[in-house]
Copies of this chain bind each other. A is one copy, B any other.
Amino acid sequence: MVDLEFIRKLVIPAQTKIAFLVMDGLGGLPIEEGGPTELEAARRPNLDPLACRSVCGCTQPISAGITPGSGPGHLGMFGYDPCRYVIGRGVLEALGIDFDLQPQDLAGRGNFCSMDAAGNITDRRAGRISTDKCVELSALLNAQVRLPGVELFVRPVKEHRFVLVLRAEGLAGDLSESDPQQLGVPPLAIRPLDEAHDRAASQRTADLVNSFADQARQVLAAHHPANMVLLRGLDKRPTLPSMQDVFGLRAAAIAVYPMYRGLAKLVGMCALPSGTKLSDEFDSLEQAWPEYDFFFLHFKYTDSRGEDGNFAAKVAMIEEFDGYIPRVLALKPDVVVVTGDHSTPSALKSHSWHPVPSLLYSRYCRHDDVTQFTERACVHGGLGILPATDLMPLALANAQRLAKFGA
């Protein structure tokens, strides 16, 4: 891949529009040897004809054998080196609850946990307290914990999970975690990691977070089983150049889940109202079509059904998505990309390392012999097996938004 600065210098203005359609966890596996994958099993009355007019390939999200989380999976598709721009777990959780994270904020993922009289952890998830209880205790911590010079936010997520955000100038990440990942021992003190960039700032931040944990213990003393907190993935959001800046695109994101809207906002996309159903997302696409150059449309449920291990349900999700392709084409986009951020085979019930079937349609795409939009067929496509970060330069080129390199 070439770097963003290389691309930025080649960007030229254009009126063209790119529809970038992402089925989360699209790639799959057979559930029994020799059988079809989810995508092969799905009826694809619209995706297959589109594949015939497209150039196809399989994208490698990170590198051979590497399974991406949602953060790196999306950054790669958006053209940003996912090994360079690393997103902490706390930041991702904050994005996931639509928290409006500022550049100076430090975010961490919190668990309510159970502790015995000796201070040792007896349940790392506090018996998976109800979400209602989580809302109540998060509000309690938010109201009663005080850190000097710091604005503090404790926001519930689900069951035992919450997000902690500290807002102040001069905070730093590169911090260890307080969760010892085992029972019968006390929580760990948080400290700067050996590789901390600004050790003094990380130490000050660690002191603040440790003070939060101490106070949380006192505030929660009478709330067993949720009488303590564990903190992980404490970091600031990475500073990413915006898609407007590097690609010259007015970019919009359409996604039902907050986390994906949040990831899109990290690269400067405008998060559009997206409703709750796939039809809402395509309504939003149509309504916003005149206003932007680039539309990231994210469909969550291919991944969700893969994570469930529900092969048939993932097939159904793919078929549902297929049905919306004509509405996209009716908008006469200059470029259409259909891809996924990673594979989520129902056979594995998790993200996986397998390359992701991808297609790119444009008037100038030089289509190949691929006539089926499947994992197996896309391997033979004109894009071959390519890094996911190549998709954006290809989309820009096909949208005639990149000038020649060199004389």
Q: Which residues of A line the B interface, CB within 8 A?
A: 1-2, 6, 10, 27, 29, 33, 37, 53, 58, 62-73, 82-83, 86-89, 92-93, 233, 345, 347-348, 350-355, 363-364, 366, 368-369, 375-376, 379-387, 390, 392-398, 402-407
Contacts and interface: CB of A to CB of B under 8 A. Distances in A.
Contacts of A363: 33
A407 B89 contact: yes
B1 A70 contact: no
A69 B405 contact: yes
A376 B385 contact: no
A121 to B, nearest CB: 22
Given A72-B405, A348-B364, A364-B345, A67 B397 contact: yes
B406 A86 contact: yes
Contact of A71 (B63, B82, B353, B407): B407
A69 B10 CA distance: 12
A404 B349 CA distance: 13
B348 A65 contact: no
A348 B364 CA distance: 8
A72 B406 CA distance: 6
Contacts of A70: 406-407
Contacts of A65: 390, 392-398, 402
A60 to B, nearest CB: 9
Q: Chain A contact residues: over half helix, strand or loop, or mixed?
A: loop
A7 to B, nearest CB: 8
Nearest to A370: B379
| Most central of A10, A375, A384 by chain B CB within 10 Å | A384
A87 B29 contact: no
Contacts of A364: 29, 345, 347-348, 352
A299 B395 CA distance: 31
A346 to B, nearest CB: 12
Given A364-B348, A376-B368, A380-B380, A233 B407 contact: yes
Contact of A66 (B10, B58, B398): B10
Contacts of A355: 382
A189 to B, nearest CB: 22
B63 A393 contact: yes
B67 A404 contact: yes
26 contacts: A1-B63, A2-B63, A2-B83, A10-B66, A58-B382, A63-B393, A64-B383, A64-B387, A64-B393, A65-B390, A65-B393, A66-B405, A67-B404, A67-B405, A71-B407, A88-B407, A345-B364, A347-B364, A348-B364, A350-B404, A353-B397, A355-B382, A369-B379, A379-B380, A379-B384, A383-B385
A384 B386 CA distance: 10
A153 B171 CA distance: 59
A366 B406 contact: no
Contacts of A353: 394, 397, 402
A379 B368 contact: yes
Given A83-B6, A405-B62, A406-B87, A354 B366 contact: yes
Contacts of A402: 65-67, 353
A152 to B, nearest CB: 22
Most chain B CB atoms below 10 A, which of A62, A64, A348: A64
